[in-house]
Amino acid sequence: MTTLLEEVKEARATLTARIKEHARALGFQKVGVVRAEALTDERARLEEWLRRGYQGEMSWMARDTERRTEPERFLAGARSVVVVALNYYTPHEHTGAAATGKISRYAWGDDYHDVLGEKLRALLEWIREQRPEAQGKVCVDAQPSMDKAWAARAGLGWLGKHSNLITREYGSWVFLGELLLDLELAYDDRPSEDHCGTCTLCIEACPTQAIVEPYVVDSRRCISYATIELRAPELPTEVGENLDGWLYGCDVCQDVCPWNRFEQACAEPRFEPREGNVDASLPAVLTLSPETFAARFRRSPVKRAKLAGLRRNADALLKLSHARKED
């Protein structure tokens, strides 16, 4: 004869299994569920990273550390975190054509905030159909949530030495998101092991030595940070002289990662490259007006750099090219 506690546990396990099944039906490749508890160790590492100034001019990283690491401060009564991973790899490559700049793979198609957010909101709507009293919050990068920390806790993958999450099945070419719920669910309590071993390829390959120690990135030296987030009129010298052809973002540490040999083409058509978003014409970038910039990069991650930033990056790449020709 089953007890009431056993019935409750069985009901939670059934609902959790159905949530995972529906998440996969919506297109997510990996799903995990963990208890919505404070990220104590992760907060300590974040605060040390901030203390070193590695956030650069990303001042928002130093705000709301409590909300980032304590789910109940973001959703009152939070009990569970449903963590998802969405593969975004498409089998295209940079051409290296003259007078072009490389764009990071994640920004080739539509903005992942829109795609991932749409799917998570659909998941929350489905959960409310099953449990009308449920309250939830969708988190996709912009919300105060530590995406990689939750994904690691949920066993979706492990943090690589380049600080990106790595999955065994899809490498690091995944977008991450969370759904905070005030429901008690059945929890995954087996975080993935770190499978980086003695490999240091990402550290050695970084053009600006931004990976200052395993698992720690100094944003101030990172090409992605400089070409996307930095609002200065000029790029820092150590970055500007070592752009390695990157106009927006940088994938070097991921490109050299041995785990990315397991990459799989994604099934989401919105992540297919838009025209000119793999290798962008540098002269064309310099001629963009505010109106043409807004039209070309509407609902694209590239808009994050702003027109002034993209022009600055294109100008730096052209100057580098001209200097090398003169040498």
The predicted-structure confidence for 132-167, as pLDDT tens digits, reads as follows 999 999 999 888 889 999 999 999 999 999 999 999
Q: Which two tokens stand for residue 230?
A: 């930095």
- pLDDT value at position 160? 98
Q: Which two tokens stand for residue 191?
A: 């975080």
- pLDDT value at position 43? 94
- pLDDT value at position 62? 86
Taking the C-alpha atoms of residue 3 and residue 168, their distance in angstroms, rounded to an integer, is: 39
- pLDDT value at position 4? 76
Residue type, 241: E
Taking the C-alpha atoms of residue 137 and residue 143, their distance in angstroms, rounded to an integer, is: 9
Q: Of the residues 64, 141, 188, 279, which is catalytic?
A: 141
Q: For 238-318, where are the E strands, in sequence order?
A: 246-248, 279-281
How many helices (H) and strands (E) in the chain? 12, 11
The predicted-structure confidence for 83-100, as pLDDT tens digits, reads as follows 999 999 999 999 989 999
* Rg, Å, the chain Cα set: 21
Residues 53-71: what's their mean pLDDT?
90
| Nearest one of 243, 241, 236 to 220, comparing CA atoms | 236
Residue type, 41: D
- pLDDT value at position 180? 97
Q: Which residues contact residue 158 at a Cβ distance below 8 angstroms, ignoring those fewer than 6 apart?
A: 152, 165, 166, 191, 192, 193, 194, 195, 196
| Nearest one of 12, 26, 215, 256 to 118, comparing CA atoms | 26
Taking the C-alpha atoms of residue 206 and residue 96, their distance in angstroms, rounded to an integer, is: 18
- pLDDT value at position 1? 52
- pLDDT value at position 8? 82
Q: Which residues contact residue 325 at a Cβ distance below 8 angstroms, ignoring those fewer than 6 apart?
A: none
**Which neighbouring-strand residues pair with 136?**
181
Taking the C-alpha atoms of residue 154 and residue 264, their distance in angstroms, rounded to an integer, is: 22
Number of Cβ within 10 Å of residue 252's Cβ equals 21
- pLDDT value at position 303? 97
Q: Does residue 310 have a pLDDT over 90?
A: yes
Share of the chain above pLDDT 70, in %: 98
Rounded to 10 deg, the angle between the 112-130 and 4-25 helix axes is 140
Residue 114 is among the residues annotated as catalytic for this protein: no
Residue with tokens 């001042």: 59
Taking the C-alpha atoms of residue 230 and residue 151, their distance in angstroms, rounded to an integer, is: 27
Q: Does residue 327 have a pLDDT over 80?
A: no
The predicted-structure confidence for 12-49, as pLDDT tens digits, reads as follows 999 999 999 999 999 999 999 999 999 999 999 999 99
Q: Which residues contact residue 282 at a Cβ distance below 8 angstroms, ignoring those fewer than 6 apart?
A: 99, 100, 101, 247, 314, 317, 318
Taking the C-alpha atoms of residue 32 and residue 167, their distance in angstroms, rounded to an integer, is: 13
Please report which confidence band the pLDDT of residue 326 belongs to, taking 50, 70 and 90 as the band edges.
low
**Under a CB-based contact definition with an 8 Å cutoff, are residues 265 and 89 in contact?**
yes
Please report which confidence band the pLDDT of residue 3 belongs to, taking 50, 70 and 90 as the band edges.
confident
Cα end-to-end distance, the chain, whole Å: 84
- The pTM score is 0.95
Taking the C-alpha atoms of residue 58 and residue 15, their distance in angstroms, rounded to an integer, is: 39
**Which neighbouring-strand residues pair with 100?**
281
